[in-house]
Amino acid sequence: MKAKPKGRARKHPGPARAAVKATPVALGYRMPAEWDPHEAIWLSWPHRHATWPRNFRPIPARFAAIVAVISRFEQVRINAARALHPRARRLCERAGANMDRVEFFAHPTNDSWCRDHGPIFVKHRETGRVAITDWDFNSWGEKYFPFDRDNAVPSRIARALRLRRFKPGMIIEGGSIDVNGAGLLMTTEACLLNPNRNPEMSRIEIEQTLRAYLGVERIIWLGRGIVGDDTDGHVDDLSRFFKADGIVTAVEPNPRDVNHRALRENLERLRDLRTPRGRRFDIRELPMPGPCRRNGQRLPASYANFLVLNGGVIVPTFRQPRRDATALRIIGECFPGREIVGIDCLDLVLGRGTLHCITQQQPA
C-alpha cells in the first residue's frame, strides 16, 4: 500500500491500565454495525505518489468519482492539507458530486487509507451520543514512513466535531475488524496477533481491550489473509457481516490459486461457528475476482471490500464483467432494499486497497 518500507517495528506498551474505569463500554457505548444509519463518510484525499508508483495520475479523479457516488446517499467529509482543498473541490465538482454534501477539513495526512488511520466511532446505547475511539496507528507494523500525521487524524476529527475521545493505547486499524452491532467482532489472527502491532499484549489482553472500547462481547478469529495484502490480513478483504447472524465471505474455487487454501480454511471456521442462540450463521460465499497483478505481483483485489451506505452499497469491480456481475448480485442479495453500485477499482487497487480501505463511517 503506500510507500517505501523502512525500519523495524518497535514494541508497543499496550493499553494504559489506569484508563480501564473510563472505557466506552463502562459508559454505555458500542460500535454500531456498518449498515446502521450514518451521519457521514470520511475519506483522506490522495496526494502521495509513492502509494501508486507511476500510476498516481488518475487517482485523485477516481477519488472524486467515489465522492460523487457517496454524496448521492449521504454527507462526505474529507481530510486534506489546506493546500489540497481547491483542486480536490474542483475535481469533485467535475465528477458531479453534490457539493452541499461535501465538506473539507484541514487535516493533513501522510496517506489515503482512512479506514485504518481514521477514528473508529462508537455510539451511546441510550442517548445516541457519538464518541471517538482513537487507536494507535503504526502503518501496518511500521512498513511505511512517515505516519505521524495519519496517527493524529482521530484527535483532529474529535476536536473539529467536539466529540469525546477515548484512547485505548493499543494498535489496530479499522480494516482489521468488522462488527455486527449485536456483540460480535470478527478479525484475523494474522493481523491482530502479529508481533508488529502489540507484541507485549496476549491474545486475551487484546480481546479484553476490544470488548472494553468497542462494546463487543465475543471475538470471532479467522486465520490468514489474501496474497498481496500488505496489512497482514485485514478482515475487510475476507469476510463481512451483512446482518446480525449473516456473514458474506470470499472464496476461491480454483485449488491451484494461491488464495484457495487460506480462504477455504476461513470458510470452514465460519461454518463451525454458532450464533449466541446456538444456530448456524447464514454464510454467503463471494467468489474472488480473477488475479489482478502489477509487475508480476498479485494485488489484493477482493469484492469483500465493499462499503455500506445509507440506502446503498458501493462494491469494487475489476473490469471482469462476468465475475463483477456475480459479485454485485450476491452482495445485492445480502442487502435487499439498498441500491448496489459497482465502482471500477482496478486503478485504486494498484495502491493495495479499494473502497472500504479509503473510507470510514461516522454513525448518525
Domains of the chain, first to last: 17-363 (3.75.10.10)
| pLDDT recorded at residue 178 | 99
> Of 41, 70, 36, whose CA–CA distance to 343 is shortest?
70
| pLDDT recorded at residue 10 | 46
Residues of the chain with pLDDT under 70: 1-21
| pLDDT recorded at residue 19 | 40
Measured distance CA(359)–CA(113) in Å, rounded: 7
According to DSSP, the residues that pair with 132 across neighbouring strands are: 121, 165
Instruction: Tell me which residue has cell 478469529.
Output: 221
Q: Which residues are catalytic?
A: 357
**What is the average pLDDT score of the chain?**
95
| pLDDT recorded at residue 70 | 99
The three cell numbers of residue 359 are 473510507
| pLDDT recorded at residue 14 | 53
| pLDDT recorded at residue 274 | 97
Measured distance CA(108)–CA(150) in Å, rounded: 8
| pLDDT recorded at residue 21 | 58
Q: Environment class of residue 85 by beta-carbon count within 10 Å: exposed (0-12), middle (13-18) or buried (19+)?
A: middle
| pLDDT recorded at residue 12 | 54
| pLDDT recorded at residue 15 | 53
